[in-house]
Structure 1
Amino acid sequence: MTEENKQAANAQGHGPKMAFQKIYIKDVSFEAPNAPRVFQEQGQPNIKLNLNQKVDKLDDNTYEVTLTATVTCEVNEKTAYLAEVAQAGIFSMENFEEQALHQTLGIYCPNVLFPYVRQEISNLITAGGFQPLLLQPVNFEQMYQQQMQQAQQQAASETKQ
């Protein structure tokens, strides 16, 4: 759809539309490589969180957004557990301008998926015999802006070469 067609569609009351088609777990993994000895370890757990997101275009108006969270816990430099959840959603997006579409896929969609990721991570860790872990809220807007800045810097450095 050309920019003029989008503006005409918006003027006719056909502004951007978004719908959730499906939210589902794409992949899940839990490991406790040092169990049962790790349950006897004394010390402060060191917990690391790694978040990644991926967008796949399924057709002209449909996108799959996958938010993957990997939580690693170490006690006395031994891995207590590793929990990973890839939560995905299929989103229909119509009449979005390119910039707004990119921002919605990079900010709004991960925000929709995050509560599901948080719950599944908590369930895995508790079922693994460890203390419950509740992931803190994530500012996906800030993450998105950082990614855009990094992309601009990388593009600028490649242009200079």
Structure 2
Amino acid sequence: MSDTNGGSAPQAAAGTTEQPVMPKLQILGQFVRDLSFENIAAQKAVNAQVQPDIQVQVALDARKREADDQYDVIMKLKIESKTREDAPQSIFLLELEYGGIFKVENVSPEQMHPFLLIECPRMLFPFVRRIVSDVTRDGGYPPLGLDTIDFLALYRQQLAQRAAPQKADA
């Protein structure tokens, strides 16, 4: 059993193309930037034993940090639960800003914005889902399990909203 190339991997054939450099994403840290839970039903003696109407709003924000290849990505959720009546009453209001510090390498500048607002929130979402579930349970309600969020669709929606005023001005 002799090795002809000195123990290294086989050499690539001459004239082959290089493999594309894959993006590299690393989570350096995660944090709750802001958390608020208002149990309105308990404060105002609202009957919260009804089937609630729950509205979830999601917003995303990203910014470059001073360190090379590092970015902050913040996911903002506003979850409002109301009774289903002619005059709906608030049951609870949960607001959460959850952030991640990411190191992103090998992503072109023109692809960085969608990468930060699609891939990074996908990495944060399981942790956000758990916080929402725990907070609603600890607030005296059944744990709220958020449905999976399609961050690609959300990104496209935000782009369309930004483009609409520009088309109106033209």
Displacement, 1:99? 2.6
Q: List aligned pairs for 1:37-76, cutoff 5 A.
A: 37-38=45-46, 40-59=47-66, 60-75=68-83, 76=85
Q: Please, which of 86, 89, 95 is the counterpart of residue 100 of structure 2?
A: 89
Aligned to 1:20: 27
Aligned to 1:99: 110
Displacement, 1:15? 5.2
Distance 2:109 2:22 in 1: 13
Q: Which has the higher helix share?
A: 1
Amino acid paired to 1:70? K
Amino acid paired to 2:30? I
Distance 1:19 1:64 in 2: 12
Q: Is 1:32 the counterpart of 2:39 in the alignment?
A: yes
| TM-score (normalised: structure 2) | 0.78
Aligned-pair Cα RMSD in Å? 2.0
Q: Secondary structure at the match of 2:165?
A: helix
Distance verdict in 2 for CA 1:81–1:92, change over 3 Å: same
Assess if the C-alpha contact under 8 Å between 2:48 and 2:91 holds in 1: no
Assess if the C-alpha contact under 8 Å between 1:67 and 1:87 holds in 2: yes
Q: Secondary structure at the match of 1:106?
A: helix
Unaligned runs of 5+ in 2: 1-17
CA deviations over 1:67-111 (Å, ceiling 9, x no partner):
011111112411111112111000112232123211110100111
Q: Is 1:127 the counterpart of 2:138 in the alignment?
A: yes
Identity %: 30
Amino acid paired to 2:59? N
Aligned to 2:159: 148
Distance verdict in 2 for CA 1:93–1:33, change over 3 Å: same
Q: Please, which of 149, 157, 165 is the counterpart of residue 138 of structure 1?
A: 149
Assess if the C-alpha contact under 8 Å between 1:86 and 1:117 holds in 2: no
Unaligned runs of 5+ in 1: 1-10
Based on CA coordinates, which of the two structures has the bigger radius of gyration?
2
Distance 1:35 1:157 in 2: 46
